[in-house]
């Protein structure tokens, strides 16, 4: 069946339909990873977006459900050049096509994803529609595309109630418990929890409508604030609760959206990037050691370096390519944050050492 991708600038790509047979309007973004399409599809940070994979052949190793990063698929749509019809992998349990159908995610393949990515890089991230309607009317569609905004996605992806995990859960190593960590779920990936469990942490995961008083009253040794989707400035109530957590004296480590929310809680600003950072090969530099890590990233917003107050925080990491802020250390507080994903799955493991940094913040490895 024919399918069409219509961008808000009027550009139309014709391809073939895959996955769910439905029409969606979404923000169109691109990811440069060569592997990890299942992790992309189950990353809550993609809620409200349709993902273009720049690598031309996707689906060649099929689907292994143990690799899912959350309970379901989150993107509004999936866009590829070619989808492998016959996956080959000893762990393969399903095809990508079947996964998209089961997860009610519409897809389009057979389009020139290189041309699409060039448009998004030159003009910036824009909204688009995936449809199988051959009689589409651009005059009716384009105003709808320009009106679309990604809203309410943190509440959509966060769990509804507190959950607890111990070492050995989620396929982690069974180790002796050393610390108790509260994880604030604003779109968490399973591997964030697993990385903590592997280091002997007992983990309590709180939904995004948490109250700081409840978290503090549980007396965790540390607090982790996770990745997530959408515009961080929209999360007004969450930001206020995070501000309270930052005043508690409990060590805090935050990732991606959590990094942005912590910055906003301290009066700094964020802004939407032209086309964001999404992929598994982004170089970031530790400003203390000058060491460069290759990182996995997925974000469309960034902390505005010009809004920083050096009496409150200082840059910890920067992006080697565009010099944007990739990490902050807060002055006089046991609080550190990074924009990239040290728990990357799939992706480089360079920066997973930052979980050891969090363990040290809680008093470990002494």
Binding residues for L-glutamine: 45, 228, 230, 257, 260, 298, 300-301
How far is C-alpha 41 from the geometric centre of its chain's CA atoms? 10
Looking at the chain, the number of H-run helices and the number of E-run strands are: 10, 20
Among residues 27, 202, 326, 343, the one annotated as catalytic is 343
Catalytic: 235? no
Long-range contact list for 304-308, CB < 8 A, 24+ apart?
A: 304/268, 304/269, 304/270, 304/271, 307/267, 307/268, 307/269, 308/268
Catalytic: 341? yes
List binding-site positions: 45, 228, 230, 257, 260, 298, 300-301
Quote the CA–CA distance of 77 and 99 in Å, as a whole number. Answer: 12
For residues 259 and 338, the answer to whether their CB atoms sit within 8 Å is yes
> Residue 93: which residues within 8 A CB-CB, separation 6 or more?
62, 63, 64, 65
Among residues 27, 256, 259, 326, the one annotated as catalytic is 256
Among residues 69, 235, 341, 352, the one annotated as catalytic is 341
Neighbours of 354 (CB within 10 A): 23
In order, the DSSP letters of 190-256 are HHHHHHHHTTTEEEEEEPTT--HHHHHHT--SEEEE----S-GGG-HHHHHHHHHHHTS---EEEET
Catalytic: 343? yes
Task: Report, as residue numbers or ranges, the catalytic residues.
Answer: 256, 341, 343
């Amino acid at each position: 069946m024919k399918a069409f991708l219509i961008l808000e600038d009027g550009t139309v790509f014709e391809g073939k339909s895959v996955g769910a047979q439905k029409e969606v309007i979404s923000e169109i973004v691109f990811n440069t990873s060569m592997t990890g399409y299942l992790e992309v599809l189950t990353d809550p940070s993609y809620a409200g977006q349709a993902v273009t994979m720049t690598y031309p052949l996707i689906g060649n190793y099929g689907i292994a459900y143990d690799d899912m990063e959350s309970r379901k698929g989150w993107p509004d749509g999936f866009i590829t050049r070619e989808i492998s019809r016959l996956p080959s992998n000893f762990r393969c349990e399903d095809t990508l096509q079947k996964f998209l159908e089961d997860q009610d995610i519409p897809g389009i393949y057979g389009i020139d994803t290189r041309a699409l990515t060039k448009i998004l890089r030159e003009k910036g991230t824009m909204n688009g529609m995936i449809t199988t309607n051959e009689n589409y009317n651009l005059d009716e569609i384009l105003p709808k595309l320009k009106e679309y905004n990604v809203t309410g996605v943190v509440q959509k992806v966060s769990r509804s109630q507190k959950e607890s995990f111990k070492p050995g859960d989620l396929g982690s190593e069974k180790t002796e418990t050393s610390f108790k960590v509260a994880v604030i779920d604003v779109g968490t990936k399973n591997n964030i929890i697993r990385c903590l469990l592997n280091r002997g942490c007992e983990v309590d995961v709180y939904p995004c409508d948490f109250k700081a008083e409840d978290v503090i009253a549980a007396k965790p040794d540390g607090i982790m604030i996770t990745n997530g989707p959408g515009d961080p400035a929209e999360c007004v109530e969450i930001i206020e609760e995070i501000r309270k957590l930052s005043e508690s004296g409990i060590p805090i480590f935050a990732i991606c959206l959590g990094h942005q929310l912590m910055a906003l809680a301290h009066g700094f600003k964020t802004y939407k990037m032209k086309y964001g950072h999404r992929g598994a090969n982004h170089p970031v530099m530790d400003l203390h050691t000058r060491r460069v890590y290759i990182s996995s990233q997925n974000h469309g917003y960034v902390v505005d370096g010009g809004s920083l107050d050096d009496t409150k925080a200082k840059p910890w990491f920067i992006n080697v390519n565009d010099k944007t802020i990739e990490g902050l250390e807060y002055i006089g507080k046991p609080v550190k944050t990074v924009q990239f994903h040290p728990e990357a799955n799939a992706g480089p493991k360079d920066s997973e050492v930052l979980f050891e940094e969090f363990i040290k913040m809680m008093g470990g490895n002494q």
